[in-house]
Amino acid sequence: PPPSARPPRSAIKDDGSPLRWPDLRVGREVALYRRSYTLLVADAFSRVFYAEQGQEQPPDRAFPEGPFDQRKALDASRSRAAAAPPARSGPAFTGHPPLPNDDADPANDDARRHSPRGANAVFRVCAVQRSAGAEARDTAVLRFYAAWDNTAVTFGEVLGFSLLYHVEDGTVEVREVHARNSGRDPFPLLLSRGRLPKTLPPVYGRPMSPRSRRLLALEYYDWRDLCLGASVNVYGRSLLLYDCDEATRLWLRQNVPGISEHQLRPIDVDFDPLGPKRPPMAIPPHTSGFGSEEDSLQNVLHLVPRPPPKPYADYLLNWNKVLRFEAAMAPLGPGRSLVGPHDAERRFIVNFHLLDCTLSVWEPKRKNSGMEQGTFLERTRVPHPATGLPYAETDMQ
């Protein structure tokens, strides 16, 4: 205590007489300034002093229990009772925690009496009963990406949300996905974690208790109702599930029999249906003959031409790797033979460079063929006739 609250060295008892050392005895009450103090413990030095004076101190006493200690002991006894396995015999066991507002149960009287809310507390104190297979439950969390179309109202928008479904207890949590520079307040949750009913329950002007919700027999959303393309009614807002993460796709493949890959493809959603649309850029054909097609394309994409991007990582890995094949001329099809009968005997060496996916063809010399050896095709990119894209290493088979 501060010095102003400490008693002076010359303490005076309530009767006006000074306080002496014979007045200090273990177990005796000492009144100082209208406040009584009970002496409980004396240290070793004090006991030696009193023994030398011929007045030994009584043994030490335990510190008395106060209201806080009694309440702490009561809470500890309740915790031990809650941790004990519930009895499974008798008509009182129902397999689920009891409901609130159950005044007929006399076991609730002691909990209400010692409740911090008072004897008239509404909710009863009960132990959480876990089933034997609680540890073996599926703790997966399915994440779906949803969109809410609110363009029917004035200044409405298409907003994005993230729907989390907890498989263990069937609860749903909906979070809003915030777009950058959208001008909207970053409100974290649209729906806090809980069971999501498929239809809106009737509201009679006051919150319903769990007993009332159970009597309504509401139908809640289950993981079987969640799939790409489905609409989820979140208390009046219809959310379209258009995509999910890879962990959810893997869980659906393992737990939903007969699901196809087509059902797991994301759905395109236009989040700005009322905004101006940029027309697609037209790419003119490369007919100038100057430079490569990739180099000329930069003049179309940028006002100031830039060099074509080159992957530096591929250069380090494939700068000296070349795939070589021996090839022969193939017929062009029915009714379209080769240029001459001697073309069937010609052989070529096709070089495919992994660095830039270019092809070069070399024709070696053959005896008595009448053809000189030399370059048949300079190193360049060759478009695939089926796709129009340059040949890749996967096409060289």
| Whether 179 and 240 share a structural domain | yes
Residue 324: pLDDT over 70: yes
Neighbouring residues of 154: CB distance < 8 A, sequence distance ≥ 6: none
Let me know if residue 78 belongs to a domain: no
Residue 96 lies in a domain: no
pLDDT score, position 36: 86
| Global confidence as pTM | 0.43
d(CA 90, CA 71): 31
Average of per-residue pLDDT values in the chain: 80
Residue 199 belongs to domain spanning: 133-264
- Judgement on whether residues 152 and 249 belong to the same structural domain of the protein: yes
In-domain check, residue 106: no
- Tell me, what's the pLDDT at 243? 93
Residues 317 and 356 in one domain: yes
Instruction: Check if the beta carbon of residue 226 is closer than 8 Å to that of residue 234.
Output: no
Judge contact between 315 and 309, C-beta under 8 A: no
In terms of domains, do 304 and 250 share one? no
363 contacts 346 by C-beta, under 8 angstroms: yes
**Of 366, 281, 354, whose CA–CA distance to 319 is shortest?**
354
The SS3 call for residue 308 is coil
Query: Reading across the β-sheet that carries 322-328, which strands appear in turn?
Result: 322-328, 347-353, 358-363, 374-380
Cβ neighbors of 356 (< 8 A, separation 6 or more) are 310, 381
Place of tokens 């088979």: 397
In this structure, are residues 165 and 142 in contact, taking their beta carbons and an 8 Å threshold? Answer: yes
Q: Output the domain CATH number for residue 242.
A: 2.30.29.170
Instruction: Say how many domains are in the chain.
Output: 4
Q: How far apart are the first and last CA of the chain?
A: 91
Domain assignment present for residue 286? The answer is: yes
Residues 26 and 54 in one domain: yes
> 170-174 long-range contacts, Cβ below 8 Å, gap at least 24?
170/195, 170/220, 170/221, 170/222, 170/223, 171/195, 171/196, 172/196, 172/221, 174/146, 174/234, 174/239
Summarised one tens digit per residue, pLDDT across range 54-79 is 989 999 998 888 888 888 888 888 88
Q: Which pLDDT belongs to residue 85?
A: 63
Judgement on whether residues 167 and 243 belong to the same structural domain of the protein: yes
Phi/psi at 262 (5° precision): -65, -35
Could you tell me if 303 and 315 lie in one domain? no
Query: What would the pLDDT profile of 99-139 be if each residue is shown by its tens digit?
Result: 444 444 444 455 445 544 444 444 444 444 444 444 446 78
Each residue's pLDDT tens digit, 270-307: 888 777 777 888 888 888 777 778 888 888 888 898 88
Do 289 and 342 belong together in one domain?
Answer: no
- Of residues 348 and 9, more confidently modeled: 348
Q: Is the pLDDT of residue 314 over 90?
A: no
Whether 242 and 360 map to the same domain: the answer is no
Q: Answer yes or no: is 85 within a domain.
A: no
CA angle in degrees (0–180, nearest 5) for 261-264-265: 95
Q: Which residues contact 218 (CB under 8 A, 6 or more apart)?
A: 197, 198, 199, 201
Q: Is residue 102 part of a domain?
A: no
Is 210 a member of any domain? Answer: yes
DSSP state of 86: P
Quote the pLDDT of residue 164: 95
Q: Are residues 180 and 241 in the same domain?
A: yes
Say yes or no: 249 and 138 in one domain. Answer: yes
Are residue 383 and residue 298 in the same domain, yes or no? Answer: no
